[in-house]
């Protein structure tokens, strides 16, 4: 996509006096600071900040991001007023360093470095040693007394400038150098002396002249302005534009340009250059971490040309590296760096990622910024910094990205372990799992009952596989994307899943899978890694999740701060236990239909649906009742006094209809119905659009005996659980897919009369709450009616999955191809099924809350869609005054942290 250049906002000079476009920084005079990030970019602002802290920063200046806007608004022209400001600043650097830009005796050399607000790959690479030409290089050689150093610097400059500003591919220079080394019998750059570099320089210059038809620029002013223009020009190069689009960075931020006096890590064996983290970015341990190279410059450390050495003696010993660490090689410089790191951590109150250079024993700081880190490190650093008194508990809670928890809540593959890769698919649901291959869901359940861990391998999954997916340690499919049935359900369950492994050939009949020539059969062990999409042969060593220690402490601080309660969506005892162990404060959604998918029960369910009269339905329901009651008793016992919200049956009917011959035969036998008649019945029940068909309250109104059975199961279970627990159990019964008050009243009537019946039968007084799921636009609009009066809904739970589906008119099951087109074209900012559409769907939610609470100020309000585990959505529900969010058990810790962050941010905003 082409950026219209005129879109840039322009700071036009309002008078003849040009605005301040250049900010100077040095230990003597720092005009900017860390609070100037928007104007000076991250690198420039932090250089100024370090300078003002008195740290050793080579003097320099920053040309502001505003100039970038002007550059584009005026057809890639720099404003005239900039020239004198740059010249003055250059002179000032010269005064501080005792050198002069372009001077043949004592030349000042500079680095030209890009830097926008957010660190951003794709921008122009840094140019070092700018200001060298055929004459100044002689001056540099004389002043330094080191010919080799001078010519090494010059060849680096020509190469960088040729590549970055003149547009000659860097491989051209690399080829020249490789050839030269081969011809002359050298293996390492360090073996080349001044004469050799002079020869290489001649070859470089000839190549440039060949390519451009003009010589390498000898005029240092032309060099400088060429480099400045190239930095601004790189803001709109394709790589940078793509990166910004992917990371939602606005194009009109612009980049700044930093021009800074060079310091030299390539001045022999008392010089070096390196990178450091003030703490270990992978574990978070409070230890310096990083690498350096002696007699090197710039990106040598990360380029892989030479192997860098460890910074600390400890790291060197651990890596069994024979080369000395910086701590051992240059103890004084190391000690100084250690002190500087301390100052920076205290100032920025965060772990820093640092670039430094040592010139002839003297330390210079070239960059600092907050360092990227793993989820584990992020937690450890936040907790440690709170313990060290650097952060408050609230601040520590704000430091950790809730989504990163997904990495921690599952076992992970041990990176050091041996493994044989089988194939790759999509990383559909994080976590790693090993188990026996099974090819169908019944087998998965069967094996699981016998105590085996299984991986369910299917071409794709369908709602009928729910019980098999539940029973599996992991799921692998050959087809389907990140939002396929397998992926969505697996994520919801917290079961690791690799989907869309396209190279996989599955033969369900023969019970084999093959990848190319390799074939595995049912019972063979494989391992999947749902975080990377990798599939391995055999069992691979794993690491178990650590939910104790720092993690537990941080979550504890989050619990102190949050207002929203966090419940879990849990359908089975296993889910409920998992939810409790992750700190859920109740069940916000128990989907009773999942209880029907169990192999023994689905037959009775099918009977019930296919029965042609009430008597047939009642006899089928009677078979289901004991199962439901037993499930609820177990659930109530696990949850103790915590609230449990049970939703009445809600699935689209087609999920239960018998399809395969085997299924049809079984149902026909039970119902004593000829198979042809049953097939006709199934055809009669089939719907064109089941999502909008006979489900939820509609199903219950048409077949009230289903609600009777469910209500009975719930109340009998509550009575039994009360006896067992010796404490009161207050089920919250939720009627799904309600749009009209009358629907609610009819079903509430059925439930209330069942409560009375069970009370009479058991002699136990039953406490319960009746509420509704708000998942249709009409329910949001008529929320006042639904809540009105003592016999109105006592609670609302927003079912934001269906609400999103019905407000957008977009089927969740068919959304994935649409989603990808819509996000690349910027129609959806985020997947609306993952992060709630705050403006559209959100407005209806807000309306529902307001209208419901206007009738009933103490109306309890929660949300139980997938959005309950999405941090942005959680913040939104916090703002709307919800009482709780409910999400899948594995997302409970995420929601706890997100709810705390929402509360802390709201507190900060109002302060």
Residues within the interface to ligand ADP (CB under 6 A): 58, 111, 113, 126, 128, 260, 262-263, 273, 298-299, 355, 357, 366-367
What would the 3-class secondary structure string for 822-851 be? HHHCCCCCCCCCCCCCCCCHHHHHHHHHHH
- Residue 806 interacts with Mg ion (CB under 5 A): yes or no: no
780 in catalytic set: no
- Residue 368 interacts with Mg ion (CB under 5 A): yes or no: no
Shorter beta-carbon distance to ligand ADP: residue 271 or 805: 271
In the list ligand ADP, Mg ion, none, the entry touching 68 (Cβ below 5 to 8 angstroms by class) is none
In the list ligand ADP, Mg ion, none, the entry touching 111 (Cβ below 5 to 8 angstroms by class) is ligand ADP
Cβ at position 8, least distance to ligand ADP in Å: 23
In the list ligand ADP, Mg ion, none, the entry touching 498 (Cβ below 5 to 8 angstroms by class) is none
- Residue 309 interacts with Mg ion (CB under 5 A): yes or no: no
- Residue 477 interacts with Mg ion (CB under 5 A): yes or no: no
Cβ at position 302, least distance to ligand ADP in Å: 8
Q: DSSP letters along 683-713, please?
A: HHH--S-GGGSS-HHHHHHH-HHHHHHHHHH
Which of 367, 412, 447, 572 is close enough to bind Mg ion by CB under 5 A? 367
In the list Mg ion, ligand ADP, none, the entry touching 298 (Cβ below 5 to 8 angstroms by class) is ligand ADP
Choices 73-81, 220-228, 359-367, 795-803; region in contact with Mg ion by CB under 5 A: 359-367
Cβ at position 334, least distance to Mg ion in Å: 20
Shorter beta-carbon distance to ligand ADP: residue 365 or 644: 365
Contact 768, 731 (CB under 8 A): yes
Strand partners, 525: 436
Shorter beta-carbon distance to ligand ADP: residue 262 or 528: 262
Shorter beta-carbon distance to ligand ADP: residue 36 or 891: 36
Strand partners, 567: 886
Pairing mode of beta strands 542-543, 412-413 = antiparallel
Residue tagged active-site, from 864, 867, 878, 887: 864
DSSP H or E run through 885: strand 884-887
Strand partners, 534: 424, 529
CA distances from 632 to 334, 638, 643, 758, 883 (A): 64, 10, 13, 15, 24
Report how far residue 768's alpha carbon sits from residue 778's, in angstroms, rounded to the nearest whole number.
Answer: 26
**What residue is closest to Mg ion based on CB?**
367
Torsion of CA 381, 383, 388, 389, to 10 degrees: 120
Report how far residue 236's alpha carbon sits from residue 469's, in angstroms, rounded to the nearest whole number.
Answer: 47
Cβ at position 113, least distance to Mg ion in Å: 7
In the list ligand ADP, Mg ion, none, the entry touching 260 (Cβ below 5 to 8 angstroms by class) is ligand ADP
Kindly report the length of the chain.
911
* Helix axis angle, 136-144 to 147-164, nearest 10°: 140
Cβ at position 886, least distance to ligand ADP in Å: 44
In the list Mg ion, ligand ADP, none, the entry touching 113 (Cβ below 5 to 8 angstroms by class) is ligand ADP
Segments of 758-799 assigned E as strands? 769-774, 795-798
**What residue is closest to ligand ADP based on CB?**
113
- Residue 114 interacts with Mg ion (CB under 5 A): yes or no: no
Contact 455, 475 (CB under 8 A): yes
Contact 197, 97 (CB under 8 A): no
Report how far residue 199's alpha carbon sits from residue 342's, in angstroms, rounded to the nearest whole number.
Answer: 45
Shorter beta-carbon distance to Mg ion: residue 302 or 854: 302
485 in catalytic set: yes
In the list ligand ADP, Mg ion, none, the entry touching 124 (Cβ below 5 to 8 angstroms by class) is none
Pairing mode of beta strands 432-438, 454-458 = parallel
Shorter beta-carbon distance to Mg ion: residue 354 or 490: 354
- Residue 406 interacts with Mg ion (CB under 5 A): yes or no: no
In the list ligand ADP, Mg ion, none, the entry touching 278 (Cβ below 5 to 8 angstroms by class) is none
DSSP H or E run through 534: strand 534-537
Shorter beta-carbon distance to ligand ADP: residue 118 or 241: 118
Q: DSSP letters along 255-274, please?
A: EEEEEEE---S-SSTT-EEE
Cβ at position 328, least distance to Mg ion in Å: 26
CB atoms within 10 A of CB 23: 26
In the list ligand ADP, Mg ion, none, the entry touching 168 (Cβ below 5 to 8 angstroms by class) is none
Cβ at position 369, least distance to ligand ADP in Å: 9
Shorter beta-carbon distance to ligand ADP: residue 75 or 304: 304
Choices 249-257, 350-358, 472-480, 770-778; region in contact with Mg ion by CB under 5 A: 350-358
- Interacting positions 211-240 with Mg ion (CB under 5 A): none
Q: What is the DSSP letter of 324?
A: P
In the list ligand ADP, Mg ion, none, the entry touching 276 (Cβ below 5 to 8 angstroms by class) is none
Q: Which two tokens stand for residue 418?
A: 């041996």
Q: What is the DSSP letter of 312?
A: S
Shorter beta-carbon distance to Mg ion: residue 301 or 815: 301
Residue tagged active-site, from 36, 410, 485, 654: 485
Binding-site size for Mg ion (CB under 5 A) equals 2
Q: Which two tokens stand for residue 91?
A: 């002179």
Choices 181-189, 194-202, 365-373, 504-512; region in contact with Mg ion by CB under 5 A: 365-373
Report how far residue 263's alpha carbon sits from residue 649's, in angstroms, rounded to the nearest whole number.
Answer: 72
In the list ligand ADP, Mg ion, none, the entry touching 776 (Cβ below 5 to 8 angstroms by class) is none
List of residues 6+ apart from 739 with CB closer than 8 A: 776, 778, 779, 782
- Residue 260 interacts with Mg ion (CB under 5 A): yes or no: no
Contact 311, 288 (CB under 8 A): yes
Cβ at position 477, least distance to Mg ion in Å: 39
Over the range 227-252, which residues count as b (16 or more CB within 10 Å of their CB) and which as e? Answer: bbbbbbbbbbeeebbebbeeeeeebe
Cβ at position 283, least distance to ligand ADP in Å: 24
In the list ligand ADP, Mg ion, none, the entry touching 805 (Cβ below 5 to 8 angstroms by class) is none
Binding mask 44-63 for Mg ion (x = CB under 5 A): --------------------
Shorter beta-carbon distance to Mg ion: residue 120 or 754: 120
Cβ at position 112, least distance to Mg ion in Å: 13
In the chain, what is the straight-line distance between the N-terminal and C-terminal CA atoms, in Å? Answer: 42
Cβ at position 353, least distance to Mg ion in Å: 9
Cβ at position 262, least distance to ligand ADP in Å: 4
Cβ at position 257, least distance to ligand ADP in Å: 10
List of residues 6+ apart from 798 with CB closer than 8 A: 773, 774, 775, 845, 848, 861, 862, 863, 864, 865
Shorter beta-carbon distance to ligand ADP: residue 260 or 797: 260
> Residue 389: which region, alpha, beta or left (left: phi > 0; alpha: psi -120 to 50)?
left
In the list ligand ADP, Mg ion, none, the entry touching 393 (Cβ below 5 to 8 angstroms by class) is none
- Residue 835 interacts with Mg ion (CB under 5 A): yes or no: no
SS3 state of residue 576: helix
Segments of 551-656 assigned E as strands? 565-569, 587-591, 644-647
Strand partners, 114: 257
Shorter beta-carbon distance to ligand ADP: residue 271 or 429: 271
Shorter beta-carbon distance to Mg ion: residue 120 or 633: 120
Q: Which active-site residues does the annotation give?
A: 485, 864
What residue ranges bind Mg ion (CB under 5 A)? 355, 367
């Amino acid at each position: 996509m082409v950026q219209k250049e005129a879109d840039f906002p322009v700071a036009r000079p309002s008078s003849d006096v040009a605005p301040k476009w250049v900010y100077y920084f040095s230990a003597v005079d720092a005009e900017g600071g860390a609070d100037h990030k928007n104007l000076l970019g991250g690198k420039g602002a932090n250089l100024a900040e370090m300078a003002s802290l008195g740290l050793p920063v080579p003097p320099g200046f920053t040309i502001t991001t505003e100039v970038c806007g002007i550059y584009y608004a005026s057809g890639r022209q720099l404003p005239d007023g900039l020239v004198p400001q740059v010249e003055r600043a250059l002179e000032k650097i010269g005064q501080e360093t005792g050198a002069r830009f372009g001077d043949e005796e004592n030349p000042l050399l500079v680095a030209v470095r890009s830097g926008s607000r957010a660190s951003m790959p794709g921008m122009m690479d840094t140019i070092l040693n700018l200001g060298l030409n055929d004459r100044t290089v002689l001056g540099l050689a004389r002043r330094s007394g080191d010919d080799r150093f001078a010519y090494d610097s010059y060849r680096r400059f020509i190469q960088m400038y040729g590549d970055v500003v003149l547009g000659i591919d860097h491989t051209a220079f690399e080829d020249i150098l490789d050839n030269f080394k081969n011809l002359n019998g050298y293996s390492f750059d360090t073996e080349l002396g001044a004469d050799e570099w002079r020869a290489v320089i001649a070859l470089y210059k000839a190549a440039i002249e060949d390519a451009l038809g003009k010589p390498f620029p000898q005029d240092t002013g032309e060099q400088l302005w060429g480099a400045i223009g190239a930095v601004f020009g790189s803001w709109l190069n394709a790589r940078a534009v793509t990166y910004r689009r992917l990371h939602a960075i606005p194009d009109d931020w612009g980049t700044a340009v930093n021009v800074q006096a060079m310091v030299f890590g390539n001045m022999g064996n008392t010089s070096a250059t390196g990178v450091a983290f003030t703490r270990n970015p992978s574990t978070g341990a409070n230890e310096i971490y990083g690498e350096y190279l002696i007699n090197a410059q710039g990106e040598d450390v990360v380029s892989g040309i030479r192997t860098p050495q460890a910074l600390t003696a400890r790291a060197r010993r651990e890596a069994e590296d024979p080369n000395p660490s910086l701590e051992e090689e240059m103890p004084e410089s190391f000690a100084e760096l250690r002190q500087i790191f301390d100052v920076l951590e205290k100032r920025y109150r965060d772990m820093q990622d640092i670039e430094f250079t040592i010139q002839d024993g003297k330390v210079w700081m070239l960059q600092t910024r907050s360092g990227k880190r793993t989820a584990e490190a992020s937690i450890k650093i936040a907790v440690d910094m709170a313990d060290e008194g650097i952060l408050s508990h609230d601040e520590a809670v704000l430091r950790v990205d809730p989504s990163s928890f997904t990495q921690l809540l599952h076992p992970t593959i041990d990176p050091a372990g041996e493994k044989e890769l089988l194939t790759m698919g999509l990383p559909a649901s994080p976590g790693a799992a090993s188990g026996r291959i099974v090819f169908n869901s019944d087998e998965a359940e069967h094996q699981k009952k016998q105590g085996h861990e299984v991986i369910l391998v299917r071409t794709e999954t369908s709602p009928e596989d729910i019980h098999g997916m539940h029973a599996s340690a992991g799921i692998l499919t050959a087809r389907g994307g990140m939002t396929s049935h397998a992926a969505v359900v697996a994520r919801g369950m917290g079961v690791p899943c690799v989907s869309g492994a396209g190279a996989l050939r599955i033969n369900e009949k023969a019970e084999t899978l093959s990848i190319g020539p390799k074939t595995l059969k049912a019972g063979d062990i494989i391992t999947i890694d749902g975080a990377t999409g990798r599939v391995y042969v055999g069992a691979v060593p794993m690491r178990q999740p650590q939910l104790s220690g720092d993690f537990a402490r941080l979550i504890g601080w989050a619990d102190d701060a949050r207002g929203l309660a966090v419940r879990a969506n849990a359908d089975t005892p296993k889910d409920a236990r998992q939810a409790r162990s992750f700190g859920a404060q109740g069940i916000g959604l128990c989907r009773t239909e999942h209880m029907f998918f169990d192999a023994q029960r689905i037959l009775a369910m099918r009977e019930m649906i296919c029965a042609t009269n009430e008597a047939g339905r009642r006899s089928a329901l009677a078979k289901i009742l004991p199962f439901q009651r037993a499930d609820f008793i177990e659930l109530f016992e696990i949850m103790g006094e915590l609230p449990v919200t049970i939703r009445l049956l809600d699935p689209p009917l087609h999920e239960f209809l018998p399809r395969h011959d085997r299924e049809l035969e079984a149902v026909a036998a039970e119902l004593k119905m000829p198979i042809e008649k049953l097939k006709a019945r199934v055809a009669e029940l089939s719907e064109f659009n089941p999502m909008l068909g006979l489900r939820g309250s509609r199903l219950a109104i048409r077949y009230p005996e289903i609600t009777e059975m469910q209500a009975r199961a719930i109340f009998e279970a509550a009575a039994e659980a009360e006896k067992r627990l010796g404490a009161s159990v207050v089920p919250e019964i939720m009627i799904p897919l309600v749009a009209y008050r009358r629907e609610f009243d009819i079903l509430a009537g059925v439930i209330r009369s069942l409560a009375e019946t069970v009370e009479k039968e058991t002699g136990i007084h039953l406490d319960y709450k009746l509420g509704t799921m708000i998942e249709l636009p009409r329910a949001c609009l008529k929320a006042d009616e639904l809540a009105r009066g003592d016999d109105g809904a006592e609670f609302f739970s927003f079912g934001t999955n269906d609400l999103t589906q019905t407000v957008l008119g977009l089927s969740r099951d068919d959304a994935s191809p649409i989603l990808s087109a819509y996000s690349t074209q910027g129609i959806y900012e985020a997947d609306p099924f993952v992060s709630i559409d705050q403006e559209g769907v959100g407005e209806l939610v807000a309306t529902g809350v307001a209208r419901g609470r206007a009738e009933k100020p103490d109306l309890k309000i929660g949300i139980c869609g997938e959005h309950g585990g999405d941090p942005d959505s959680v913040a939104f529900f916090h703002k709307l005054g919800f009482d709780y969010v409910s999400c899948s058990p594995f997302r409970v810790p995420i929601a706890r942290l997100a709810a705390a962050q929402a509360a802390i941010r709201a507190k900060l905003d109002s302060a």
